[in-house]
Amino acid sequence: MNNKGKWLRRIIIGVVILAFMCGGVAFGMNYRTWIQGDEGSDQIDGGGSAVKKKVDSAAGDYVEPEKTNTENQDVGVAIPGWGYISIPAGETDIAVDFPNPDANAEKYYLSFELRLKDSGEILYTSELVPPGKTIQKITLSRALEEGSYQAVVHVQPYKMDENQTPTNNADMETELVVYNT
Amino acid sequence: MKTNKKMISLLLIMVMTIAFSLPVSAAQVTNNGESQGTTLSYSVSQVFIVTIPSTVTIDASGEGTETVSVSNAVIPYGKSVKVTITEAANYSDSKFRLKDGENANYLNYTIKIGGNSISKGNPFLSVPAGTATGSAELAIKADTPTKSGMYTDSLTFTVTIE
């Protein structure tokens, strides 16, 4: 082999080495894009420039979340109404009818408080009455004399959950008729 | 066939015998042309059911709708079932207010029916006798909040027969 041939071989080897070096540098700069692609990547490259982000395909206009079944079925609390309550004079153990309507099934307890409208004096307060049940006998805090009294039955509902949360409530105005036996 | 006829005849005789032997509870008419009156009485108790919203729900837009209704109403002639908001836990300066938990942080709201504001103490639903049902749709709108939190209020609905 003559000198010319030797020099030609060295030049070719040098060009090949140079090509490998350039290729290595280019690979090092772009391997994330070439190998991983840019989908889902929010990393910053070594040069400090942000990788371009894509708009999330789940993003859309705001839609009011659908109510749960319980919320949809909640049409309110059913409160019973009376014309008058008739009780005997001089007695504290009396008969009444304080029902919790079936419409409140699985949703609301009711409690009842009987009080005189003018003075606000509370004559009776019940515990919780489950839906479909009623209170028919109560004991007043004191006996009343014969006459007609304006009264209020305060009805306080409670949610049938662990907290028994009180809800909006109702005052049912009624007449308390006290008669001599 | 003959047996059937005998059976029917026997049955008729028995029925007539029993019928004639029953005591007459009303006044008896004994003479021809005489008349007697009787009184029928039927006591109808006054009953009705009022359905109130358990809570006032306001959505993300600051608005909500709740319904108050009267059903199964049997009340005296000439009277009406009337429903009024008489108490609101956080009411002040003639305004309904929501309160943020234990904080002294309030948010005003209005209650309207058909575009007309309702106020505390004035009946907003009246169901006359003879009309078994009636309802009112309450449109609730809160002012724009400037502080986050869980805002609530509690209403008392008073029901009267007038």
* A77 with B52: Cβ contact below 8 A: yes
Q: Give the whole-angstrom CA distance, residue B40 versus residue B38.
A: 7
Interchain contact B45–A (C-beta under 8 A): yes
Q: Give the whole-angstrom CA distance, residue B92 versus residue B108.
A: 9
Q: What is the DSSP letter of B115?
A: T
**Segment (H or E) for A155:** strand A147-159
Per residue in B123-146, pLDDT tens? 999 999 998 899 999 999 999 999
Interchain contact B44–A (C-beta under 8 A): no
Task: Please check the confidence at residue B57 and state whether its pLDDT lies above 50.
Answer: yes
Interchain contact B52–A (C-beta under 8 A): yes
* B156 with A171: Cβ contact below 8 A: yes
How large is the ipTM? 0.73
Interchain contact B117–A (C-beta under 8 A): no
Interchain contact B90–A (C-beta under 8 A): no
* B46 with A82: Cβ contact below 8 A: yes
Mean pLDDT of the B19-37 span: 65
User: What pLDDT is attached to residue B22?
Assistant: 47
pLDDT in tens, chain A (181 residues): 567 788 888 888 888 898 888 888 887 777 666 666 554 445 555 555 667 888 898 998 877 666 555 455 567 999 999 888 999 999 999 999 999 999 999 999 999 999 999 999 999 999 999 999 999 999 999 999 999 999 999 999 999 999 999 999 999 999 999 998 7
Whether the Cβ atoms of residue B71 and residue B133 lie closer than 8 Å to each other: yes
Calculate the alpha carbon distances from B30 to A155, B22, B34, B40 in Å: 57, 16, 7, 21
User: What pLDDT is attached to residue A26?
Assistant: 82
- Tell me, yes or no, if the pTM score tops 0.90: no
How many pairs of residues across A and B have Cβ atoms under 8 Å apart?
Answer: 89
Mean pLDDT of the B99-117 span: 90
Buried b (16+ CB within 10 A) or exposed e, A133-151: eebeebebeeebeeeebeb
Scanning A58-87 for CB atoms below 8 A from B yields 64, 71, 74-84
Q: Tokens 């169901």 — which residue?
A: B127
Token pair for A28: 């090092």
Whether the Cβ atoms of residue A179 and residue A84 lie closer than 8 Å to each other: no
User: What pLDDT is attached to residue A40?
Assistant: 46
Alpha-carbon dihedral sign for residues A160, A164, A169, A170: positive
Phi-psi category of A3—alpha, beta or left, where left has phi over 0 and alpha has psi -120 to 50? alpha
Interchain contact B158–A (C-beta under 8 A): yes
